Structure 1
Amino acid sequence: MSATGWFRDLLAGPTRGPATVRATGTWPRTALALPFIGMALVVGLDYLSTLQVTVEPALTAVPALAAIVSRRVWYPILMGLLSEGVAFAMAGYDNVLGESVHSATVFAIALVTAISWVSATLRVRQEQALADAQLVAEIARRVLLRAVPDRVGSVRAAVHYAAAAAHARIGGDLYEVVDTRHGVRAVVGDVRGKGLGAVETAAAVLGAFREAAHQEPALEKVAGWLAVSLDRALHEHDHPGVEEEFVTLVLIGVGPDGTAEIVNCGHPAPLLLTGDGTVRALELPETVPPLGVLDPADVSPPVQRVPFAPGDRVLLFTDGVIEARDRAGRFYPLADRFPHCAQGGPVDVLDRLHADVVRHVGRPLCDDAAMLLLQYEPVAHGRQQLPHQNGRLARQ
């Protein structure tokens, strides 16, 4: 390693293991030269100045700048010591060693250096705490929102999830896909609210779905099971500041023969993209309120049955996608944009859709956004292994 590379690595800041989340807003390593450049400018200005005024007090900015561009807490101290030495050299050159301006400058550099060291120390601690919190959030996300295999039974699947909370990786949106003896079953939902309360509610709904999807032959009974579990969770957990809690969700089941069943409880209707490029919303004729609004005994939503042909794709999503607005206040036209982004496999489609939403908004999304894409592709015979999204193998 060259001396320059070693110096940059030394000043760039402490490193950690693979679980480290890099702090946001960090400066590039080339910025480490800024304090030296500032010091050189002060010296050059003082040398070239024809006025009988010293610019020595400007050196107080050097340690402050060092605290900004580096995560090494000793870097401001180093630059403060160098600034003190340069200050004495400039004072000797300008014949002001005995004047108050020099004494004030020396004191100011020491004070700014101390403040910069404290500031850098606090910032590093905050970044460490943020990295630890992000690591915990990532672990919680992997436990709560499991990775979706590329193939689940008779469908290919992909999911894209983005949490809106700053530096968070989990929010109030939920999704799951399971292969059961009743066919492939999936859920996408949105918990009212944010924070830990929404995560607790989402965990209760997902836990109930993972059990009910295997046990209940009728999809509407799965919704009833979720309503009971949600009601119990809301009574067990009190979330201060939240007056009313409910969950909108859509359930879908795809049989081996391509017959799909859909149950919608107050959630945006899924979009079906057929092989000829036609898009239609799978709206139910009867509006059903979200779970948590009605008594669980009264939850009996209608079931919509739709035949799928090989290659048909159904997109389930949360309102964070369709309510994304551009700077003019226009909502994202998901139904219009879906066919234009539907090239390639399910993962590619969702990546294109998410990028298209971000381009439409022009900034990071301000709400949680989840998308789940199911593509009906039955396998004629045999068992097949396909890559899992996280690198493992999923077995059909």
Structure 2
Amino acid sequence: MDEQVSHATAAGTISLGRLRWVTTWRRLPRWVRGDGHRFEPMLVSPVLVIALATTADLLTPHLQFNRLLGAAPALAAAMWPVAGTLATGLLALLAAVALSGAQHALGQTPSVFTLLAIAAITLAAAYASRVRQNRERVLAEVRTVADTAQGILRPPLPQDLGCIDVEVLYQAVAAHARIGGDFYEVRRTPYGVRMIIGDVRGKGLPAVEAASVMLTSFRVHVRDAPDLPYLAARLETSMKEYCEEVPGDDVLERFITVLLVEIPAGKPIARLVNCGHPAPLLLHDGQVREVEASAPSPPINMAALLGDPYQVDTIPFTAGDRLLLYTDGISESRDFTGTFYPLTQRVRRWASASSRQLLDHLHHDVLAYVSGTRDDDLAALIAHRVGPGDEHRRHRP
């Protein structure tokens, strides 16, 4: 059978040659492979270094390629556990001794320094491998905690939202952190589907804690709140109580921009309360426009300074319309000239795409637009009002 015939696997298809590499790798002892390591071609590179250096030295002994054998344990330290690194160093030493014997047979003086260098590099590499494994273990624990926190802060969206279909996008500023100060939630209530998207001032664990306070309060009050201003007032109270329980010098600087949305099931409208948050975009018949608040409402934890006149804006929201909610991690992204990301213009390009495709386009476009390292979380949510005949075609994994 042709060597290029592929075999189906859970990850896709792999060639017969790669399958043989995987099989050979899995037959190696666990102390060589290291627990938790999956096969990668680079994992055999230390052995290849030894083989290539040995072959080159035998073919051209006057160039002394045996000095490159020390690279093998150094390379192994970056990928293998301590035992595997030591075994690589021992193999390199054995190859060096064999090459020294060959040099002696040719009348050349074996290099004792090369043997000592390989031994020293092996010991240093074993220590480095130990340090790397400890750091990987700590990172794995941190990722587990982050995944757990993310499951609490951003659980899977409800399956049954009636005539509303929702797609979301989220990325923390630190890719490995997975959580940040941007948050969102969607709930079906007796008053219709209610949504929240928010952005906590600041970053790190304090921002995550404040986001959890907002989401907890939203989930507690969302079903019983008679209207959006009442719900915003409950969020304000929760944040105020949190600041009293966790005092600090930055209490006055702790504020959260929030956008609340209510989409009644039996009315072709949407109600919004914008508490200092970026204006959402309404996609209607291929047109895209910003939905600016008719009057400003204070960000959460700023009502004591600005008052609490929460303004409700009602907009038409019929079947086929979509509402794009987002945080300033998207709208305030800048290119190398300092120009803000032209969100409305870019979204017009993808107005005919599906909600999932639109968010994917938006995500990739923002990452390509930003000059240098992105310094803010980003989140986006699209609420799509589907017609009665379209509900059966929706799918959420």
Bin the TM-score by the shorter chain.
0.7 to 0.9
Deviations 1:141-163 (A, max 9, x none): 11121222355133111211111
Listed as ranges, the matches of 1:300-379 within 5 Å are 300-361=309-370, 365-377=374-386, 379=388
8 Å CA contact 1:14, 1:71 repeated in 2: no
Q: CA distance change for structure 1 residues 264 and 97 in 2, over 3 Å: closer, same or farther?
A: farther
Listed as ranges, the matches of 1:269-308 within 5 Å are 269-275=279-285, 277-295=286-304, 298-308=307-317
Listed as ranges, the matches of 1:173-188 within 5 Å are 173-188=182-197
Identical-pair percentage: 36
Structure 2: gaps spanning 5 or more residues: 1-15
Instruction: Tell me the CA shift for residue 222 of structure 1.
Output: 1.1
Determine whether 1:210 maps to 2:196: no
Q: Report which structure shows greater RCO (CA 8 Å, sep ≥6).
A: 1
Query: Paired residues, what number?
Result: 375
Q: CA distance change for structure 1 residues 142 and 279 in 2, over 3 Å: closer, same or farther?
A: same
Determine whether 1:30 maps to 2:41: yes
Determine whether 1:258 maps to 2:268: yes
Instruction: Tell me the CA shift for residue 101 of structure 1.
Output: 7.0
Instruction: Tell me which residue corresponds to 2:67.
Output: 57
Letter in 2 for 1:109: I
Matched residue SS, 1:295 = helix
Instruction: Tell me which residue corresponds to 1:131.
Output: 140
Instruction: Tell me which residue corresponds to 1:8.
Output: 25
Instruction: Tell me the CA shift for residue 241 of structure 1.
Output: 7.3
Instruction: Tell me the CA shift for residue 330 of structure 1.
Output: 3.3
Matched residue SS, 1:177 = strand
Structure 1 stretch 146-155 or stretch 195-204: which is displaced more? 146-155
Instruction: Tell me the CA shift for residue 98 of structure 1.
Output: 12
Matched residue SS, 1:268 = coil
Determine whether 1:191 maps to 2:212: no
Determine whether 1:172 maps to 2:181: yes
Whole-Å Cα distance in 2 between the matches of residues 207 and 265 of structure 1?
A: 18
Instruction: Tell me the CA shift for residue 189 of structure 1.
Output: 0.3
Instruction: Tell me the CA shift for residue 327 of structure 1.
Output: 4.0
Instruction: Tell me which residue corresponds to 2:100.
Output: 91
Whole-Å Cα distance in 2 between the matches of residues 267 and 150 of structure 1?
A: 27
Matched residue SS, 2:295 = coil
Instruction: Tell me which residue corresponds to 2:4.
Output: none
Whole-Å Cα distance in 1 between the matches of residues 105 and 71 of structure 2?
A: 20
Whole-Å Cα distance in 1 between the matches of residues 164 and 219 of structure 2?
A: 18
Deviations 1:336-384 (A, max 9, x none): 122322445433332232233223337774321111111123548xxx7
Whole-Å Cα distance in 2 between the matches of residues 129 and 186 of structure 1?
A: 36
Listed as ranges, the matches of 1:70-85 within 5 Å are 70-85=79-94
Structure 1 stretch 251-260 or stretch 91-100: which is displaced more? 91-100
Instruction: Tell me the CA shift for residue 284 of structure 1.
Output: 1.4
8 Å CA contact 2:296, 2:311 repeated in 1: no
Letter in 1 for 2:282: L
Letter in 2 for 1:29: E
Instruction: Tell me which residue corresponds to 1:159.
Output: 168
Taking structure 2 as the reference length, the TM-score comes to 0.84
Structure 1 stretch 77-86 or stretch 310-319: which is displaced more? 77-86
Taking structure 1 as the reference length, the TM-score comes to 0.84
Q: CA RMSD in A?
A: 3.1
Structure 1: gaps spanning 5 or more residues: 17-21, 23-27, 392-396
Letter in 2 for 1:284: A
Whole-Å Cα distance in 2 between the matches of residues 118 and 268 of structure 1?
A: 51
Listed as ranges, the matches of 1:225-240 within 5 Å are 225-238=234-247
Whole-Å Cα distance in 2 between the matches of residues 289 and 343 of structure 1?
A: 34
Determine whether 1:107 maps to 2:116: yes
Matched residue SS, 1:133 = helix
Letter in 2 for 1:154: C
Matched residue SS, 1:261 = strand
Q: CA distance change for structure 1 residues 326 and 355 in 2, over 3 Å: closer, same or farther?
A: same
Instruction: Tell me the CA shift for residue 43 of structure 1.
Output: 3.0
